[in-house]
Structure formats: C-alpha cells, structure tokens
Amino acid sequence: MRKLQFFSLLLLAGAMCSAQAAEFNQVQISKSTLAFAYKQMGVPLEGKFGKFTAQLTFDPAKINTAQARLEADLASIDTGSSEGNDEVSGKLWFNTKTYPAAQFVSSGVKALGGNRYEALGKLTIKGRSLDVSAPFTFRQEGAVGIFDGAFTLKRLDYAIGEGLWADVSAVANEVRIVFHIVANASAPAKK
C-alpha cells in the first residue's frame, strides 16, 4: 500500500515536470503593476494605481479552472499630477468616499492559442458592473508566471467624469487599462 502511494506520487511528479504544468496562485504584488493610458487634448498620458490586490489561480493545463480577482484602491491613483489626483477622487470622477475600490472578477478564461489568453469577467466601478474581456499573454519563468494584458474601457460607461467632465474632447472616453501580474506557482506538495 505504501509502495503504491509512493509510486503514484512519483508518477504524478513526473507528469507535472514533463508537462511543466503548475498552478500559479501566489501573486507577487510588489512585482505587479496596474496602470492606465488615456488622452487629454490629444496628448497621450499614463497613470497607475499605487495600491491594488490580486488573487488568481492559473494553470495553463487546466484553463477551465482559471480564476482572477483584482481590486484597485481608487484613492491610490496617480494620474501624473497632484492636481489631477485630487480632481479624480471627487464626486464627478471616482467619488472615492462612496466607492473606494474598483473590482474585476473573472467568470472564465479562454485560450486563444500559443501563449495568448483572454480573461472574461465583470468590472465594477462606481456601482456599475459591466462585462469586459481582457486579452493577455502568459509566460513562465521557472516557478514564476508572468501575465501581461490590456483592455480598453469607456470611462463614461462607468460615469467616471460626470457633468462638465463628460466632455470627451478634453479627456478622451477611452481609457486603456494595462496590467502586469507576477504570480509564483504553489510549492509542489513534496515530502
């Protein structure tokens, strides 16, 4: 009985090594970034969120079970200027007092071939939840998985920038969200 268990463990380990499959589920938040790009009067500008959390489980061999959940602390935004940061915390923009966070919760992941995938899910900002799909690439470096992706949202769909700021000729409606997530594989169940 013991021998059999040991043998099957060996087999399992062998199978995992040969397929190089592993479940990546330990997000290294300090190595990950959540940024965005937008245009203001035709000028391309970039910003980022200083604080966000991410949980994911991703095994390229078991894509059906992949999951991701991201939450950005909207008050930690850096739009590139302190004047801009103060402005977007306000009621017309994110209204961070009432809606402190933006959330993405995946409903599934599709394989697009090669190292390309697409995460589908709901993005909730300012009390509005909409379906989004975010294409990304996955690359594995030993026990570290690196996810790079981006998608474009329309800020007015989430009422980000209401009233006078709804003027998309000053600040464009399209905002590109760019994410870089680094996650370690869970330690193999040895010993």
Partner 1 sequence: MSSATRYTTTAITLHWLAALLIFATFPLGVYAHELALSPLKLKLISYHKWLGVTIFLLTVARLAWRATHTPPPLPETIPLWQQRAAHGLHLLLYVLLFAIPLTGWLMSSAKGFPVVYLGLMQLPDLVGKDKALGDLLMEIHEMLNFGLLALVGMHIAAALKHHFIEHDATLRRMLPSGKEVEP
**Which residues sit at the interface with partner 1, rule CB under 8 A?**
40-45, 80-81, 83-84, 87, 164-165, 167, 169-171
Nearer to partner 1, 167 or 174 (CB): 167
Contacts of residue 45, defined as CB under 8 A and 6 or more positions apart, other chains included, come to 37, 38, 39, 79, 80
Tokens 């294409």 sit on residue: 135
Least distance from partner 1 to the Cβ atom of residue 177, Å = 19
Nearer to partner 1, 16 or 168 (CB): 168
Nearer to partner 1, 134 or 160 (CB): 160
Least distance from partner 1 to the Cβ atom of residue 32, Å = 22
Nearer to partner 1, 150 or 168 (CB): 168
Least distance from partner 1 to the Cβ atom of residue 70, Å = 26
- Is residue 151 within 8 Å of residue 118, measured between CB atoms? no
Q: For the residues of 90-149, what is the DSSP string, one character each?
A: STTTT-TTT--EEEEEEEEEEEEETTEEEEEEEEEETTEEEEEEEEEEEEEETTEEEEEE
Least distance from partner 1 to the Cβ atom of residue 102, Å = 22
**C-alpha–C-alpha distance, residues 107 and 121, integer Å:** 5
- Is residue 167 within 8 Å of residue 148, measured between CB atoms? no
Least distance from partner 1 to the Cβ atom of residue 14, Å = 52
Nearer to partner 1, 24 or 94 (CB): 94
Q: Whats the size of the chain, residue-wise? A: 191
